[in-house]
Structures are given as C-alpha cells and as structure tokens.
Structure 1
Amino acid sequence: MLEKRVTVTVHASDPLGRAGVVSHLQHQPSVEIVEDQGGATARERAEEGRGKDSGETVGTVAVTLVERFDELAAAELRRLIRGGDQRVVLIARDLREPELMTVVEYGVRAILWRHQATPQRLLRAVQSAARGEGHLPPDLISRLLTQVGQFRRSAMASTSVALVPTVGMAPREVDVLRLIADGLDTRQISEKLAYSERTVKNVLHALMTRLQLHNRAHAVAYALREGYI
C-alpha cells in the first residue's frame, strides 16, 4: 500500500531561506513539495499530485518563513489561509505578543522558531498541520496564555462585572482544553482522561466547529477569555 503524502508549498521572501526549508523537506518520503500556483486552490494543487507513483497525496500545507511580522507578512498569511482548505505552518524569527494573537486568530496551524526548525521538527509541524492539529513551542503557549489572561483581566476591570461565558462548553471540553493549556498532546490527554485519542480529537473538532475556532491555541484562548479555564 502506497504511503499518503502531504503536499507542501514553501513561501519566503528570502531565496536562501526558502532553499533551506526546501532542503529540510525534499527528502522526506511523506512530503511532496510543489510550486505555489497563485490562483489555484489548495485542493486543486493536491489533486494535481494525486496518483503519482511515489504515493497518493493528501491535504495541502503551506510553510511560510517570516523574518519579521509586518504588513507584507500579514497579507501573505491572509492570502495563504483565504481558501480555507490549506493549513499554514509559520517559521518565525520572533513574534511579539500582539503579533502572536494575530497569527493565531488568522488560523495558522503551527509555529516554529527559526533557530529550532530542524528537519525533524519541521516535519512534525507539517504532519500536525495536515491532520488539523496545532503545533506550538512551549514558550509560545505560555506567552499566549499570559496575554489572554491580561486581556481578560483588562475586560473585567473595565466593566467591573464578572466575566460570564457566552456560549456553553461541556465539562469534558473544558477538561481537554485545560490539559492542552498545560502543554499535553493528544496521546497524553487521552491517557490522562482515560479517553481514546479519537475521542479527544472528536471533542476538539466538535468544539472548534461549533464555536468557529481555528485551532487548539485559538480554542484555549477562547476558553480563557470566556472564563472556562
């Protein structure tokens, strides 16, 4: 049985940076690198690669390398995500807290620090994004939680009213999000709660679909902002 591969497009304003990302991924048997085709949708790009003798392609991930998050970088992220059928992995040199919140709200699936983007870590991020899962460095999770907490305290101070959740969230959804906030992955969460990994994924998928959340980090940010965790 042929292995299903992830179709990947690589984006960077710096040709050397792009060449480095390509070199990290081009020899991975589970990845097929294709050129960005402008107006073509991610689904169309995946269909073009389907059926090649090296394996069937599945999903499309855009890996984009950003030296600094400015208006051009933001516009490129919006372009890549606009179709809704392409998952984005962002490799960044640095992100300030407001930029981090913007990236999460855009729907970026995975973030890697440039100095930590080894071939193995990049492959894991691409595979996580292709599965619809998030992938963030632990220090970014901590910064995201800190900023959301600050937003929440600021909102409470300005209204002088206790924050009340606006949309219901089931107890097991809260349990799963609390463990994600603690840095646990799907397998660890399933072990902790005595659920199957499929159940954990289904809980998250149902929650994010219902509340129109982009990824796990966005779900955690929502739960913190609404006072669930």
Structure 2
Amino acid sequence: MTAVDAPIRVLVCEDQELVRTGYVTIFGAQPDLDVVGEAADGRTAVDSARRLRPDVAVMDIRMPVLDGIEATRLLAGPDVVAPVKVLVVTTFNLDEYVYEALRAGASGFLLKDAPPRDLVHGIRTIAAGESLLAPAVTRQLVGRFADRIRSPRRTTAAAEALSVLAPRETEVLRLIAEGLSNAEIADRMVISRETVKTYVSRILTKLDLRDRVQAVVLAHRVGLVTADG
C-alpha cells in the first residue's frame, strides 16, 4: 500500500469497555481504517493522540480524569499547532456540552445509536477534511440557541448578510444546514467535490463565519431551513 493509499489512522477514546471494543471491531474490519490505539479516559486520549498522531480521534464526551470536551480542546483547539481531527460520538444528543465540544474544535458529532456504516462514513468524511453533524445534533444546536437568534433585528441583519451570496452558494448553505457532507452536496447538485469545497470557502468568507456550525445556525436564523427539516 502506497503512502497515497495509506489507511486512515484512528484512535478510539471511550470509557465503556464494551462500546470501545465494538468500535475497534467495526473500524478494524474496514480495509481503509487502522485502529492505532485505544483510550479509556480523556487524559490517556490526549497523551495517546500526541504520541500516535492519528488522522481521526473518535471521542466520547463523558469520560473520567479529563472529559471529552477538554480533551478535544487540547487536541483540536484554536491554539493547537498540529491539531488532530476529532469525531465526537456520544449517547447524549441533548447534552448541554454538545455545542461546547464543537467550539472546542471537534470536526463532527454523531450519536452512538448511529449505524456502523454512519460511524465509518463519519471517520472518512472528517479524515478528508470535511465536517459532519448528525441531523438530530443540528436540531439540538438550533433549538438551544433559538431564543437568542430569533429576535427581529438579528434575523433581519442575518437575512441582509445572506444577500451577498450567489444563488448556488445559497443552495450549498441550505444543504450544509441540512447536515449534508461535501460529498453528499456534490451528489445532490451534480457538481464535483472540489467545486463544493470552493463554494463552502466562499460562503464562510463572505458571511464572516468561522465554521460550518456557525453556518448551520445562521441558515436556521434566517429561515433558510427549519429545525424540523
């Protein structure tokens, strides 16, 4: 296998042994994934990630010693020189720490009840440099901040900001808010993934947004999509 075809290096960070073993089995069965380590607490996760340099760390939120949010911040936060991509996978779709985990630098968030194929897809998506939000998580994020983003003045200002986008960029923003990955957007719009990446970059720049999470909230704020889909 050449360097170009090298498998995605995965670190599994989960305190429940049964769940952790299940992840290792599922991921290890994929020819393009290589489980390089396991961690049962946040501190071990950080130490292992710094030592093993995985492409993706699959991170639970609630772990002993150091929780998944702080571990994510130490591995993928804005001040990290060589960040590790983090996919948060947890039971708590209504957990008050969901947004904080994403703010800490997580590239994606899935629920533990997601089928194995979705977990594997999530790892591949994040390893490719994209981000991923489960639809239920998108609804939770918007719901949590609904009160503070739905004032008439803020909504009007957001709608005016959206006017700088071209029609195709607006469509891409709508699909981002629905939780689609770049690959899924490319399939839906019948364009290349590189073109989608260009659109996403333009959207974030034009709207002065940091990441896709902010894009999702803005899209819901202006009514481009709704929390119910």
TM-score (norm 1): 0.72
Q: What is the alpha-carbon distance in structure 2 between the residues aligned to residue 86 and residue 209 of structure 1? A: 23
Shift of 1:97: 6.0
Please say if residues 68 and 92 of structure 1, whose CA atoms lie closer than 8 Å, have aligned partners that are also in contact: no
Count of residues in correspondence between the two structures: 208
Q: Which runs of 5+ in 2 are unaligned?
A: 38-44, 225-229
Distance 1:161 1:111, change over 3 A: closer
Bigger relative contact order, structure 1 or 2 (CA pairs below 8 A, ≥6 apart): 1
Question: Does 1:126 pair with 2:128?
Answer: no
Match of 1:107 in 2: 105
1:7-86 matched pairs, under 5 angstroms: 7-35=9-37, 38=47, 41=50, 45=53, 60-67=55-62, 72-82=67-77, 83=80, 85-86=83-84
Q: What is the alpha-carbon distance in structure 1 between the residues aligned to residue 201 and residue 118 of structure 2? A: 24
Q: What is the alpha-carbon distance in structure 1 between the residues aligned to residue 184 and residue 176 of structure 2? A: 10
Match of 1:135 in 2: 132
Q: What is the alpha-carbon distance in structure 1 between the residues aligned to residue 120 and residue 187 of structure 2? A: 25
Higher alpha-carbon deviation: 17-26 or 205-214: 205-214
Please say if residues 68 and 94 of structure 1, whose CA atoms lie closer than 8 Å, have aligned partners that are also in contact: no
Task: Give deviations 1:160-199, integer Å, cap 9, x for gaps.
Answer: 6764149675234332111222344435534554543321
Please say if residues 91 and 117 of structure 1, whose CA atoms lie closer than 8 Å, have aligned partners that are also in contact: no
Higher alpha-carbon deviation: 163-172 or 77-86: 163-172
Q: What is the alpha-carbon distance in structure 2 between the residues aligned to residue 145 and residue 40 of structure 1? A: 31
- What secondary structure is seen at the aligned counterpart in 2 of 1:104? helix
Calculate the aligned-residue CA RMSD, in Å: 3.5
Shift of 1:145: 3.1
The runs of at least 4 consecutive aligned structure 1 residues that moved more than 6 Å come to 68-71
- What secondary structure is seen at the aligned counterpart in 1 of 2:201? helix
Q: What is the alpha-carbon distance in structure 2 between the residues aligned to residue 68 and residue 221 of structure 1? A: 28
Q: What is the alpha-carbon distance in structure 2 between the residues aligned to residue 151 and residue 37 of structure 1? A: 34
Amino acid at match of 1:25: F
Shift of 1:121: 2.0
Question: Does 1:146 pair with 2:139?
Answer: no
Please say if residues 107 and 131 of structure 2, whose CA atoms lie closer than 8 Å, have aligned partners that are also in contact: yes
TM-score (norm 2): 0.72
1:161-180 matched pairs, under 5 angstroms: 163-165=156-158, 169-171=164-166, 172-180=168-176
Q: What is the alpha-carbon distance in structure 1 between the residues aligned to residue 83 and residue 64 of structure 2? A: 23
Identity %: 24
Amino acid at match of 1:45: R
Distance 1:39 1:182, change over 3 A: closer
Q: What is the alpha-carbon distance in structure 2 between the residues aligned to residue 108 and residue 114 of structure 1? A: 16
